[in-house]
């Protein structure tokens, strides 16, 4: 049997409502969103767009803090939400990871004389160590059913659609394509999530309107991804397409849709590439030609031979807590980071923090696989396949860029982890309530063993 080795509460999480499950659709009856749900959805939606800061009593805040801090206060006062928060699977590992990041940051901040008071220190720890992580237990506590997961998916696709349109407008205007982000790699790294999720959600929509919406999202996100001209992101996307095809072939519905998915993806990519060649100028196309002959700064061999040894030396000198930053000023302004998320995490906060984060990546993959293999809800299996593909794409892209080490991208990773966790918990509860355990490779031989035992008697 599949096991997370998590607390017993993993299979006994109380639902947000006492309404019964619909045996046919395996979902709860539709109901209005609660205030914490609306508040958290707004917080998720504004993460990429509203990042301007303001100062109160010498402490810097942004719009995310305005939304998250009242929600945390409400959670502390609400017994039901607080109980669900502390029943989050792998909460101990999550706390340990946050504690390591806090100690590493405090050590670096004290060396740089950034700590002015205990209050400022506490807020800086929240902002630089804990804020991205909070989305994991918060989403698990607030959204605990299929309806909540679907709403989170819709909000995420609205974010992706807005970000993609911003990037496409910048591309056709001749500007640097970064969307609301600070760099093209951050922009492309974020798009790797909705490009997989839109493809997956479009495979099993509830209506034709949703099919059109997800199809439009997929085309626009792919166009924006090509506008970003990020080699690592495009390579990660192709790997995620292959991963999605393999996962889809595992289910009966996926095997039926696999030829259509292949033809649709081939048509979409061909059409968009043709549009790129037709509308873009030579200066833009030359960057794609650099895939064959990249510049020195983009050359992977140069990075490994010239830059990475310096960062490996820093890790060897500070293996437990790192040095607090992944920036090396002596390498220049454009090449002063390792351009590898895993190396950047180890340099900034030590090897234990890197191992803890990689544990969560593996947990998210395992939970997605569990939902794909075990859920009786056909709709739930498709987004799980999309999340699995998205995490694979992010992991590949992080080999050549600091994507998963970026706090903004990490925020959406924790959203994906929370989504897969809620889906896995509901799948486990449904299967146990219905007496439908996951089919294992040995289960095909059980009738034979039963027949043999009957004959022996």
Interval 260-289: pLDDT, tens: 777 766 776 676 566 656 655 444 444 454
Tens of pLDDT along the chain (457 residues) come to 334 444 334 444 444 333 333 333 334 445 688 889 999 999 888 888 876 677 776 667 788 888 888 899 999 999 999 999 999 999 999 999 999 999 999 988 888 777 777 877 888 889 888 999 999 999 999 998 888 899 999 999 999 999 999 999 998 888 889 998 888 888 999 999 999 999 898 887 768 888 889 989 988 998 898 888 888 888 898 889 889 988 888 777 777 777 777 776 677 667 656 665 665 544 444 445 444 445 555 566 767 777 888 899 999 999 999 998 888 887 777 678 888 999 999 999 999 999 999 999 999 999 999 999 999 888 889 999 999 999 999 999 999 888 888 888 889 999 999 999 999 999 999 888 876 544 443 333 334 434 444 444 4
Rounded distance, CA 362 to CA 366, Å?
Answer: 6
Predicted TM-score of the model (pTM):
0.84
d(CA 368, CA 200) in angstroms, rounded, equals 13
* pLDDT at residue number 59: 67
Q: pLDDT digits over 45-60, tens only? A: 888 887 667 777 666 7
pLDDT score recorded for residue 14 = 40
How far apart are the C-alpha atoms of 314 and 294, rounded to whole Å? Answer: 28
Query: Residue 54: what pLDDT?
Result: 72
pLDDT computed for residue 350 by the predictor: 95
Phi, psi angles (nearest 5°) of residue 71: -65, -40
> How high is the pLDDT of residue 395?
94
Sign of the alpha-carbon dihedral angle for 233, 49, 147, 432: positive
Residue 449: what pLDDT? 35
Q: Which residues, 6+ apart, have CB-to-CB distance to 280 below 8 Å?
A: none
């Amino acid at each position: 049997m599949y096991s997370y080795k998590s607390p017993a509460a993993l299979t006994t999480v109380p639902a947000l409502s006492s309404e019964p499950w619909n045996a046919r659709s395996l979902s709860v009856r539709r109901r209005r969103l609660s205030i914490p749900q609306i508040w958290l959805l707004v917080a998720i939606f504004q993460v990429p767009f509203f990042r301007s800061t303001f100062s109160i009593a010498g402490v810097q805040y942004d719009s995310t803090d305005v939304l998250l801090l009242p929600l945390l206060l409400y959670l502390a006062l609400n017994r039901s939400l607080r109980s669900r928060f502390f029943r989050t699977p792998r909460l101990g590992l999550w706390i340990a990871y946050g504690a390591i990041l806090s100690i590493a940051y405090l050590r670096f901040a004290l060396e740089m004389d950034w700590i002015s008071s205990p209050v400022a220190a506490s807020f800086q720890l929240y902002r630089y160590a804990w804020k991205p992580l909070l989305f994991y237990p918060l989403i698990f506590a607030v959204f605990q059913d299929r309806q909540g997961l679907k709403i989170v998916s819709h909000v995420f696709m609205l974010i992706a659609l807005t970000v993609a349109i911003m990037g496409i407008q910048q591309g056709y205007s001749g500007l640097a394509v970064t969307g609301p982000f600070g760099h093209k790699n951050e922009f492309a790294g974020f798009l790797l999530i909705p490009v997989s999720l839109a493809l997956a959600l479009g495979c099993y929509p509830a209506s034709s309107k949703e099919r059109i919406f997800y199809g439009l999202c997929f085309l626009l996100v792919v166009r924006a991804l090509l506008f970003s001209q990020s080699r690592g992101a495009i390579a990660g996307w192709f790997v995620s397409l292959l991963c999605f095809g393999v996962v889809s072939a595992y289910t009966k519905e996926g095997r039926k849709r696999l030829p259509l998915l292949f033809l649709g993806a081939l048509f979409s990519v061909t059409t968009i590439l043709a549009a790129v060649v037709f509308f873009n100028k030579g200066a833009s196309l030359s960057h794609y030609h650099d895939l064959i002959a990249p510049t020195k700064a983009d050359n992977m061999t140069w990075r490994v031979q010239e830059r990475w040894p310096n960062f490996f030396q820093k890790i060897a000198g500070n293996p437990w807590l790192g040095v607090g930053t992944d920036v090396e000023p002596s390498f220049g302004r454009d090449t002063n980071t390792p351009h590898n998320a895993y190396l950047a995490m180890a340099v900034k906060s030590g090897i234990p923090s890197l191992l803890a984060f990689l544990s969560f990546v593996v947990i998210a993959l395992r939970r997605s696989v569990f939902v794909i293999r075990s859920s009786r809800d056909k709709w739930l299996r498709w987004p799980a396949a999309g999340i699995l593909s998205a995490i694979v794409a992010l992991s590949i892209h992080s080999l050549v860029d600091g994507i998963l080490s970026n706090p903004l991208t990490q925020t959406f990773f924790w959203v994906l982890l929370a989504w897969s966790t809620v889906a896995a918990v509901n799948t486990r509860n449904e299967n146990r309530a219905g007496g439908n355990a996951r089919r294992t490779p040995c289960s095909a031989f059980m009738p034979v063993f039963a027949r043999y035992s009957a004959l022996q008697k």
